[in-house]
Each structure stands twice: as C-alpha cells, then as structure tokens.
Amino acid sequence: MSVESTLSSVIGPDTTAVDDGGTEYLSRNPSNLDDVVARVRLGGPDTLRVAAENAQRAQREWAQVPAPVRGRVVAGLGRLVEANKESLAKLVTREIGKPYAEALGEVQEIIDTCDFFLGEGRRLYGQTVPSEMPDKQLFTFRVPVGVAAVITAGNFPVAVPSWYIVPALLCGNAVVWKPAEYAAAAARAVAELAWRAGVPRGVLNLVYADGEATFKGLEAALEAGTVNKVGFTGSSAVGTRVGELCGRHLQSPCLELGGKNPMVVAADADLDLAVEGALFSGWGTAGQRCTSLGNLIVHRDLHDEFVSRLDEALRSATIGEPTGDVLYGPLLDQKFADGFESVLGTIADHHTVLGSESVGRITESAPRKGFHGDPSTGLYYHPVLLDGLRPDDHVFRQETFGPIVGVSTFDTLDEAIELGNLPGYGLSAAVYTTNPQTAFRFRQGIGAGMVSVNNSTSGAEAHLPFGGNGRSGNGSRQSGIWVLDQFTRWQSLNWDFSGKLQKAQMDVDTV
Ligand code: UN1
C-alpha cells in the first residue's frame, strides 16, 4: 500500500459533508509551482462546527474503549506510518519543500510518538491518596476532556499534529483537526492511516478551512460546548487570538507559538561545533521551524573569526531542490515567501549583509553558486547573515521564519542572557561553551522552555516536554507524559467505608 496512491487529487472535508460555501484552494509544490499536489475544498464556519458535534457524539463510545486498547490503536498508526515511511516523507517533501532527509526524520517523529503512547495506554495512572479520616480512601482519576480542536501549521505537517492527536486519542478524546491548507495532502495521508489503524471516523475528523472560517466555526463550537480543548501551533499573533477566544469560554488552550531563539557562543566555545550548529539551526529547514535559531549572540573576542567562518560555511552550503542533499529548499508557500520579503525590507544601513552574493529570490539574474536544480520553478531565497544587529532592530525582536539570522556581541554572560531574553519569546535557546558553569548559569537565566548545550536550538525529541513561555506560548507543554495534563482532567473520588457520616475538617483529631 502506498500513501500517495490513496490520495486523489481532489480532496475535501471527509467526515463532514457540509456544503457551507467554502472556496477551492490549490496546494502547490513550492519547488515547482506548476505541480498541484492537492485541490482542497475549504469549508465555511459550519464545517468545523458540525465536525465538533459529530466528534462529541463519537467521543462517548471511544472513551469506553479501555486505555490499553486505545494504546494499541495508536501503536497501529505508528506501524502503518512506518510501513509507508518513504512515501509519506516524499509527499512532505513534495508538498512543503522540506529536504527529504529531514522529511524522513519528521515521519520518524510520529512513529516515536505512537510508540511512546502505546506504553502510556497501560500507564494512564491515577493515585490513591490517604484521607485525614479513618476508614476512608481518596483516589484520583484522569478523565478525557472530550473533544479537542487541533489547529496546526504546515512546516511540520506530520510530526507536530501527532503531538496533539496521538495523546488526545490515547486519553479517550475525539479530535477535530484543521491542518494548514498548504499541507492538506500530508494531513489527509496521516488521517487516512489513522482511520485505517482503527480510529473511528467520527473520533478523528479532518476539516479544511481558511483562518476566518476556522475562527468562526471554533467560536460557534466553544459556544455550543462541543469543543473542550484547543491545541494550536502557529504564529504568536494568531495564537493570541486563539487564547482570547478560549479565555472567553473559560478554556485554557495548548499554545505552541513562535520563537526568536538565541544561540550564545561563549568565549571558550568549540568554534567548529558552534559554526556547524549555527548553520543547521539558523538556515536548515530554511529557518522555518519555530525552534530555528533567530539571534546569534557571540562573545566579542570570537566575533570576527566566528562570523567569517560562518559566512564561508553559508556561501559553500548547497541550496536547492529538496529531493537532493541540500541545506534547505524552497520556502513553504507564497504567503511565507511574501512574509520573508517583508523581513528583507527591514535590513538597514547599519547592518553588514553576509552569507551570499545577493539578497532575495534566487533567479537567473541573481544566481546562487552550486544551486541544486532549477531555481526558476520554486520559492528559493538566498541565505542572509546580518552582522551588527541592534536590540531595537526588527530582525532582532521579531520571529522571521526564513533563512536569515542576525549577529550581536556580548562581553559578560549576564549581558548575553539579557540579550537572549529581550525579544520576549521563550521557546528554545542554546549555548556553546566548554565550561559547565557557563552552561548551568545560562540555563538558570534564560527564559526558554527548552535549552540546549553545544547543540542546535531545533531538533526536539518526541518524549521531552516541548513548549515555550512569553510570546512563545502560555506555558503549556506537549510531548511525553507532560501532555497528558492537556488532554485529561483530574477527577477525585472520596470513598467512606466507616458506616457513618465523617465530616472533613470537623471530625478530625488534631494533635
Ligand atoms: C515547530 O517548528 O513547530 O524542534 C516544531 C524541532 C522539531 C519541532 C519543531 N522537532 O525542530
């Protein structure tokens, strides 16, 4: 069986046949814009609202399935993904332009997630808790929240949705999944495999809708009480709107937002390692991970050598068609290319532009040496290394989501930490140092949810808590056992077997 062969070119809302006046969207291959990967019918607001109603009905039965059996179902999804690993990775590469080696890694992440939650199906523990009274026992239970609306970005169209969907299903919830339209085919492939693994159709609902229809549909569902948890991965601006909407309905969403992730290169850093780490974190995936490196903060004594080595590494890196062995391929889609162009527009006179011969789109008149393939067919951009960044520069303060990184310098570790925290995000941060004291002090001072020592800011593993603070999220965490608190609520039980009414706080002997 091949995932690709199951995908027809015309795909639309599958479980929710609502004709509510949506539009058609073409998901295109960003390395060859003439290649239409999927034609998608985007639903209007009713699509999401009705999907949530369906999900609510289906959830009751799903919650009755024993957790270890639900664990086997999600493990089955993992096995099906594994059997289709190459074709799913090829689809990711074709639809969003992610280099094939990275796409394979991304597919591995959903497999790892399914493997992890197979075990959690047998460990969905509650507690026994002592009572303050005799002949009385207290317990806690994890209870599914109900229906989770999962709204995901397309830069990780397989792995990141699975961080919500797999634990949500394992915990006994139903899911309404609204993926990014520019990754519609990859989403459909994952949903197909989940349905084939035994997830009932009503328990996992896939809907396509644009941003405004999603907001309206979500608002209606929250109002009707058919959505009980929202998981959102995307920009800080949209996440703020999701947070406001959920807050009005007394809900606390799981928000995984942008980053302006710093990498501090200390005076005692291994320079080769730091250059390699900066190259991969900053320009790998064309800088389009929420965990991509944003600000390089380099000790003044190393600055010149570090920047010249990084400039050289960037100039000799291979960029091009993502089916090949490249550092990065095209940007995700036209919307992201437009966003990146506006970031390039903020480059100022006080910046030194390095990393490439030109700035902007790679074209015949602005070529890139050693480019792999034909640049004219896709959304390819020159890498930018901006030296001389100032703390009030746009590029220093805002997530750029493209192949651009700025450099600033520091003298003391406190100064480096302050610069790292200044933009107000708090997702991922890295320090390159050979001194454990520097590493631990950095971890203590930096406001990021995830810290790396001598490693990339990106590349989170599937069983460590993932998430950020400040503008990067609301402190919620995905992955591992920590995400269980997103998709279950604690219920307590107090059981009195004394045969009489014992009153808490009143019938207790205090010493
Ligand atoms: C994201 O970009 O939304 O840490 C998540 C990483 C990935 C996840 C990134 N595994 O690089």
Ligand 1 atom nearest residue 153's Cα:
3
Specify the pLDDT at position 22: 75
The vertex-273 CA angle with 271 and 274, nearest 5°, equals 65
314-347 pLDDT tens trace: 999 999 999 999 999 999 999 999 999 999 999 9
**Ligand 1 centroid to 260 CA: how many Å?**
13
d(CA 311, CA 20): 52
221-259 pLDDT tens trace: 999 999 999 999 999 999 999 999 999 999 999 999 999
**Ligand 1 centroid to 457 CA: how many Å?**
9
The residue-averaged pLDDT of 210-227 equals 97
- ipTM greater than 0.85, yes or no? yes
State the greatest distance between any 2 C-alpha atoms of the chain, in Å, as a whole number: 88
pLDDT at 510 over 70: no
442-454 pLDDT tens trace: 999 999 999 999 9
Distances in whole angstroms, Cα of residue 429 to Cα of each of 62, 339, 400, 415, 454 = 39, 24, 16, 15, 11
Under the banding of pLDDT at 50, 70 and 90, the label for residue 509 is: low
DSSP per-residue codes, 210-256: -HHHHHHHHHHHHHHT---EEEEES-HHHHHHHHHHHHHTT---EEE
- The residue whose CA has the least distance to atom 6 of ligand 1 is 459
Give the bridge partners for 428, in sequence order: 450
pLDDT at 58 over 70: yes
Under the banding of pLDDT at 50, 70 and 90, the label for residue 39 is: very high
Substitution candidate for ligand 1 out of 281, 466, 479 with most atoms within 8 A of CB: 466
And the tokens for 85? 């690993």
Under the banding of pLDDT at 50, 70 and 90, the label for residue 505 is: confident
And the tokens for 279? 């190259």
Q: Which residues line ligand 1 (CB under 6 A)?
A: 155-156, 160, 233, 289-291, 458-460
Specify the pLDDT at position 428: 98
Alpha helical stretches, state H, 362-412: 394-397
Ligand 1 atom nearest residue 106's Cα:
10
Crossing angle of helices 100-120 and 67-83, in 10° steps, is 160
pLDDT at 9 over 90: no
The residue whose two tokens read 């229906």 is 147
Cβ-contact 189, 6 below 8 angstroms:
yes
**Ligand 1 centroid to 491 CA: how many Å?**
32
Cβ-contact 24, 201 below 8 angstroms:
no
And the tokens for 132? 């303050």
Substitution candidate for ligand 1 out of 238, 458, 477 with most atoms within 8 A of CB: 458
Element (H, E) at 343: helix 334-344
Buried b (16+ CB within 10 A) or exposed e, 473-488: bbebbbbbbbbbebbb
115-131 pLDDT tens trace: 999 999 999 999 999 99
Cβ-contact 318, 325 below 8 angstroms:
yes
Strands 24-29 and 32-41, by their bridges, are: antiparallel
Cβ-contact 81, 1 below 8 angstroms:
no
Substitution candidate for ligand 1 out of 104, 109, 290 with most atoms within 8 A of CB: 290
**Ligand 1 centroid to 498 CA: how many Å?**
53
**Ligand 1 centroid to 291 CA: how many Å?**
6
Specify the pLDDT at position 19: 64
- Closest listed residue to residue 474, CA positions, set 266, 296, 251, 306: 251
Alpha helical stretches, state H, 84-158: 85-96, 100-120
Q: Report the catalytic residues.
A: 256
Residues 6+ apart with CB under 8 A from 243: 253, 255, 474
Specify the pLDDT at position 140: 98
What's the DSSP call for residue 26? Answer: E
Crossing angle of helices 159-170 and 100-120, in 10° steps, is 10
Specify the pLDDT at position 4: 46
Rg (CA), the chain: 24
